[in-house]
Amino acid sequence: MTRIAYTKPSITEHEVAYATDAARNGWGVKCYDYINRFEAAFAAHLGVPHAIATSSCTGAMHMGLAALGIGVGDEVILADTNWIATVSPIVHLGATPVFVDIDPATWCISPDAAAAAITPRTKAIIATHIYGNLCDMTALLALGDAHGLAIVEDAAEAIGSVCKGRPAGGMGRFGTFSFHGTKTITTGEGGMFVTSDAALFEQVLTLSNHGRARGQTKQFWPDMVGYKYKMSNVQAAIGLGQIERIAELSARKREILAAYRRHLAPFQGLSLNPEPEDGVNGAWMPTLVFDAALGITREACLAAFGAADIDARVFFHPLSSLDFFTPQPANRRAWDIPTRAINLPSYHDMTDADIARVCDVVAGLVRGGA
């Protein structure tokens, strides 16, 4: 019996051809050709005017927050349910992360909890669209307008998610995406910064290239101390091939989530990624939360899936539970849900038999097989 991986990319001859061309010919005057094409294609897909390909989503977030002027003495509000990549740029900039609780249905930041955490030191709120689920952007954007705060979208996991006709990542002051090998589209490692703010775009573009402004005529003359977060041309070639297949890749992710819904529909007490009434869930990572009454724990899930030779990922631990942050157990849902949840396999070429095999493990857990 073949082991079922929790995720892997979909790479075709289309991407291989682009990457081969970049490796053979993408040098000298052509060294940015695929980067420029990837950025343009991604911006067009998202419906925003500006996109900058980066070496990681973390780097994109770091530069975006830096360009907003966030630093020592400032506070940035974010959900306690997050991966470390979302909070590390805040810490690197010397600002203070403020962890708040999540919405019980979406597992994303609670707008009410965010509102309650605002102080005179607050400069931004990060809206992380966890596992493809959408934050309540209507409420968060209204909150930003009311308090003069930047609403930043961490859309690392949300390519393909849409809120009221607007794509995730394209609604806030800026958005960031990840192209890690686990994501719906990949460049191996990599990310994207997007914005509709022309001035912010120029600032981040300068920061991304060692502080060298594109209008600077002096050779090797930085205008500020910047970063080195650029994507390579070969990576961008793969990314271009992937974004040209985005409709197919996103549709397959949604098909897999729908299949899980069908298979697990007969069982009570199970919650999968919610589909918003006024939008689309990009379904990057189908995630299953068990009702507390079932008594099924994360550890039981890991043991059952391991015994069935199936990879499964744990739901993100609350950031405030990490040793280097102050615990915030008052964020009750962020601390509780991970103890009874599991990410399900969702790679693009999963078969119906693979999905059924995963669901058999879930059925065994529900029926007391743990």
- Domain 13-99+107-243 identical in fold to domain 247-366: no
Q: How much is the pLDDT for 225?
A: 95
What lies within 8 Å, CB to CB, of 191 at 6+ separation is 53, 54, 55, 56, 57, 58, 59, 60, 156, 176, 177, 178, 179, 231
Q: How much is the pLDDT for 88?
A: 98
Q: Is 8 a catalytic residue?
A: no
C-alpha of 351 from chain center: 25
pLDDT tens-place string over residues 197-225: 999 999 999 999 999 999 899 999 999 99
Please tell me what DSSP assigns to residue 317. Answer: P
Please tell me what DSSP assigns to residue 151. Answer: E
Q: Where are the domains of the chain?
A: 13-99+107-243, 247-366
Set 8, 164, 183, 228: catalytic member:
183
Report, at the CATH architecture level, how domain 247-366 is classified: Alpha-Beta Complex (3.90)
pTM recorded for the entire structure: 0.96
Q: Scan for tokens 């806030």, then name that residue.
A: 172
pLDDT tens-place string over residues 227-277: 999 999 999 999 999 999 999 999 999 999 999 999 999 999 999 999 988
Please tell me what DSSP assigns to residue 29. Answer: G
Q: How much is the pLDDT for 370?
A: 47
Q: How much is the pLDDT for 369?
A: 52
Report, at the CATH architecture level, how domain 13-99+107-243 is classified: 3-Layer(aba) Sandwich (3.40)
Q: Which residues of the chain have a pLDDT value below 50?
A: 370
